[in-house]
């Protein structure tokens, strides 16, 4: 049975209104089964960079500890908050990462380091940290190789990220017209388990308004959900993340929740 872990972390986001991520996580939590949902008491304060190039590092490290304390052998879907919570989950994943592939569904590459980041925000470094690179206090201790990363819908890159993603398997929006495309890409990695990370900005702005940095020409919830369900038919999910929901008003949250709950249904 699925368990939901709500992690309303905002400190990894570069957005001017990053704390809207807390509202988004709360809105999603309201539609989850209460008996199967735990909301972490993450830091509210911004935190300090602690002499590094990562803004708000002290709060990020505290949230990481909380995720580690609460992640169990049960199949868990994390609800964010900013998308860097996936790094915390993978660092604490029961069974480790040796047989794991990561499907990174995100409009952005999240492949910066403290040296290349235009913002200093950790969410823009999250995938790089999964590879074991960047700030050592946040990078995975058991990193994934690049050939076990499958990106989906990535289309808004910083200049410094372009070369860094060249060795990934990329699925563009049109590729998901074939429902088997995601399954085939993950099978090609040789992994026997999969973590599916979804930043909801992978969706087209016409499908969802509550994101901080929308990118045009994204996926539909139906296409992404179908691809994930097909993947789950054949390979076990080690866990999943649904993150990046930042509605500006309660009414906007209600308008967007249908799309988000469709994605949660696919991974859960």
The model's pLDDT over 240-265, given as tens digits with 9 standing for 90+, comes to 999 999 999 999 999 999 999 999 99
Tell me if 233 sits within 8 A of 70, measured CB to CB: no
**Structural contact between residues 101 and 150, judged by C-beta atoms closer than 8 angstroms:** yes
Question: Mean pLDDT across the stretch 170-199?
Answer: 98
254 within 8 A of 212, measured Cβ to Cβ: no
Instruction: Give the DSSP per-residue string, 161-195.
Output: GTGGGTTSEEE-GGGGGSTTHHHHHHHHHT-SEEE
Positive or negative, the CA dihedral 71, 212, 110, 232 is positive
Instruction: Provide the whole-model pTM.
Output: 0.98
User: Collapsing DSSP states into helix, strand and coil, what is residue 138?
Assistant: coil
Q: Is the dihedral of CA 21, 26, 32, 36 positive or negative?
A: positive
pLDDT at residue 73, as a whole number: 94
Residue with tokens 């569904």: 105
At residue 58, the pLDDT reads 98
- pLDDT the model gives residue 220: 98
Q: How many Å apart are CA 228 and CA 253, to the nearest integer?
A: 23
| C-beta atoms surrounding 112 within 10 Å | 26
Contact criterion met (CB below 8 Å) for 8 and 25: yes
What letter does residue 255 receive in the DSSP assignment?
Answer: H
**204-249 tens-digit pLDDT:** 999 999 999 999 999 999 999 999 999 999 999 999 999 999 999 9
> For 64-113, what is each residue's pLDDT tens digit?
999 999 999 999 999 999 999 999 999 999 999 999 999 999 999 999 99
Name the packing angle between helices 221-234 and 250-267 (round to 10°): 30
Q: What is the pLDDT of residue 96?
A: 92
Backbone angles phi, psi at 10, to 5 degrees: -120, -10
């Amino acid at each position: 049975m699925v368990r939901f872990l709500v992690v309303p972390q905002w400190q990894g986001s570069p957005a001017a209104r990053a704390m809207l991520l807390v509202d988004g996580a709360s809105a999603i939590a309201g539609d989850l089964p209460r008996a199967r949902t735990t909301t972490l008491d993450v830091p509210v304060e911004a935190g300090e960079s602690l002499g590094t190039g990562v803004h708000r590092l002290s709060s990020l490290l505290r949230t990481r500890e909380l995720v580690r304390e609460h992640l169990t052998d049960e199949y868990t879907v994390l609800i964010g908050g900013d998308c860097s919570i996936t790094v915390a989950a993978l660092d604490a994943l029961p069974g480790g990462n040796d047989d794991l592939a990561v499907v990174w569904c995100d409009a952005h590459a999240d492949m910066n380091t403290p040296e290349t980041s235009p913002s200093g925000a950790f969410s823009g470094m999250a995938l790089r940290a999964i590879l074991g690179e960047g700030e050592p206090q946040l990078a995975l201790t058991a990193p994934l190789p690049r050939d076990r990363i499958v990106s989906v819908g990535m289309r808004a890159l910083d200049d410094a990220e372009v070369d860094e993603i060249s060795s990934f398997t990329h699925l563009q929006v049109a590729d998901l017209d074939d429902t088997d495309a995601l399954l085939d890409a993950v099978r090609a990695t040789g992994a026997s388990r999969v973590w599916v990370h979804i930043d909801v900005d992978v969706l087209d702005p016409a499908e969802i308004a509550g994101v901080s940095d929308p990118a045009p020409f994204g996926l539909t919830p139906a296409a992404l959900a179908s691809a994930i369900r097909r993947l789950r038919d054949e390979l076990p999910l080690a866990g999943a993340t649904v993150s990046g929901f930042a509605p500006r008003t309660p009414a906007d949250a209600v308008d967007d929740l249908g799309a988000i709950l469709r994605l949660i249904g696919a991974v859960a």
